[in-house]
Amino acid sequence: MEKATSAVWRPRADGPAGRDPDVRLAQWRQVWARDRIPRIWSGYVFVALLCLLLGLPVSSVLAAVAVLVVGAFMLGYWLRIGRPLTAVARLLEAEPARLVDVEVLDRRVVRAEQLVLRLSGDVPTSGRLWLVGPSPDGIAVVFHEGIPRPMPVQVLAEVPRRLGRPPASRPQDPRAVARRASAAALWRLGLQWAHTIAITVAIGLELAPQPVVLAWLFAVAGVLIAVFLARNVLRARARLRVSRLLVPDLVEFPATVRADWTIAVETELAGKVLWGPHVHASVRASGRLWIAGTPAAGATLGVGVPDFPIAGVVRFS
């Protein structure tokens, strides 16, 4: 299949990159994640302190593990994405993006336009990036090809003396991205609820009430866990299924994004994106959508762009 180089998002050429609606949506998602993670961490801190005050050693250890794990993730996200968000927003509102060739030096370090950049995510496998900046304080912004998510990067004065090995290339086609997304969703769901069940059992056993009371406590906790677990599974269902939905070959269809954010395919069907953060941007840019299967009313199918890390799940009606 011919590489769909014209079927992916590109930064706008007529002004600052931050005025693009897809870039603004990606920035909103980054702010939402930055603000949501501390709330989750605070909940685990509350549980840990409560277990400590009640004198429950095993439960306190389990809660403390969650506090440390979520806290480490929160700190890493804040350092990579959250802290420079304001500087990134100013830069995107002031300058357009330009496509540059990059030389990969390390798993996080690249050279572009005589600049040495330390990326906050994976280095590009295509050898090119969209670059905005840098600003006077040494912050620049990059976009991977086809992905409207701005990633802050640090401008280094020189190439670091110690460099690791360049990363091994890994597939960036829709099926590879779908497999990674499904695996990540499964692991996150499994770890979260295994920990929840473990700490619930530990709290119940350490409180050591009468056997009848303990049975009622476990029954109530079991019902609550079942309800919230089912809700989380339903929310993650699209990501869990995306790798299987993308097994059939991708077929190109003309498509447009409507005002209500549904995707019209051949003007007869409307598709709602259940998962796929970059599907709307790709359709807006190209007027095309690659679908794994035949769209029909009531069908839930995988979508993507050939040879690009863009995948999603769409339900048609």
The helix/strand count (H/E) of the chain reads as 6, 13
Edge to edge, the sheet with strand 151-156 lists 98-101, 128-132, 139-143, 151-156, 115-119, 109-112, 103-104
- Show pLDDT as tens, one digit a residue, over the chain (317 residues): 344 445 678 898 888 999 999 999 999 999 999 999 999 999 999 999 999 998 899 999 999 999 999 999 999 999 989 899 999 999 999 999 999 998 888 888 889 888 999 887 777 767 888 999 898 888 999 998 889 999 999 999 888 888 777 766 666 789 988 999 999 999 999 999 999 999 998 988 888 777 777 888 888 888 999 999 999 999 999 999 999 999 989 999 999 998 888 899 876 789 999 999 899 999 998 899 999 988 988 999 999 998 888 999 999 98
Which one-letter amino acid corresponds to residue 100?
V
Q: Where are the domains of the chain?
A: 17-156, 170-317
Write out the E strands in 29-108.
98-101, 103-104
Chain CA centroid to CA 72, Å: 17
Task: Please give the C-alpha separations between residue 195 and each of 38, 76, 189, 275, in angstroms, as whole numbers.
Answer: 19, 22, 10, 26
